[in-house]
Amino acid sequence: MDPIESITPYKDSSLAMMLEAQARGWQVHYFLMDDVFLDNGIAMGRYKTLTLYDDNQHWFDYGDSGECRLDTLDAILMRKDPPFDLEYIYCTYMLEQAEENGVLVVNKPGSLRDCNEKLFTRVFPQCCVETVVSRNPKILKRFIEQHRDTIIKPLDGMGGKSIFRIQAGDPNTNAIIEAVSKDASSQCMVQRYIPEISAGDKRILLIDGVAIPYALARLPAPGENRGNIAAGASTRAQPLSERDQWLCEQVGPELRARGLLFVGLDVIGDYITEINVTSPTCIRELDRDFDLNISANLFACIEQKLSA
């Protein structure tokens, strides 16, 4: 995961998972990405054990530290936030080595590499709004002119960073495309603008392809187009609609087949806009508003797979 000192405890999903693991009698080993390495083809890690507390002022204590073969662990949860860069990819190769020696890695390292959170939507065209992916300004501008009101974003970001709304005729169109595509050197995604963003960008969590029956709608702040909590959005928990449930049924079997055990769908109106596989969040908000324990569902699933 990312440094535990820097998390926001009351809304951190990784902390919720660790608290549940501890409650079940698991020993929690904590690794940063630079703690993972290969030694003569063996995946290794420098760890610290943790004692966790559900306390916003004091949420952990360090215990023992040491070095271990990753294949001596029962399960590894990969919870490093994007950016999804080459360093992230290199780490998945090392985790894959541990997986090949019998460790359950959540989510499956090969699928983390294959399933870019923006591009993975291509597998489910029936669930998605009109979209183009390119780094060619002419192609991007043609799509913007065709659909008149659009959203553009990079393929490797999170938290609403570098997401812009472009309407046909916007004098800043060229500058925005240059910025997001890094002067036509990086692929980006443009989607038709979905007006229902005003009702929230819904986060739906799935465990082994099965949806938690509630969504967290993230409502853009006044003057904002982005439904991201990091961009100031407020939240409202709500039951899944029939359309939400249908979308989850469309993607669930594929998630299960790819070993994507814990996934967050982003849904605006009737459409999936992203499929978050690296470090989905919103556990604690849904737990609080609907008296759930989503981490317990996840660890029950993990334990079932370990005993299979």
Kindly list the catalytic residues: 118, 153, 203, 218, 226, 266, 274, 276
Query: 3-state SS of 45-85?
Result: EEEEEEEECCCCCCCEEEEEEEEEEHHHCCEEECCCCCCCC
Q: d(Cα 124, Cα 306) in Å, to the nearest integer?
A: 30
Q: At 177, which amino acid appears?
A: I
> Of 76, 57, 49, 47, which Cα lies nearest the Cα of 5?
57
Residue 25, Ramachandran bin (φ over 0: left; ψ between -120 and 50: alpha; else beta): left
Q: Are 51 and 63 in contact (CB under 8 A)?
A: yes
Token pair in block for residue 26: 């698991």
Give Cα 124 to chain centroid, integer Å. Answer: 17
Pairing of strands 164-167, 271-276: unpaired
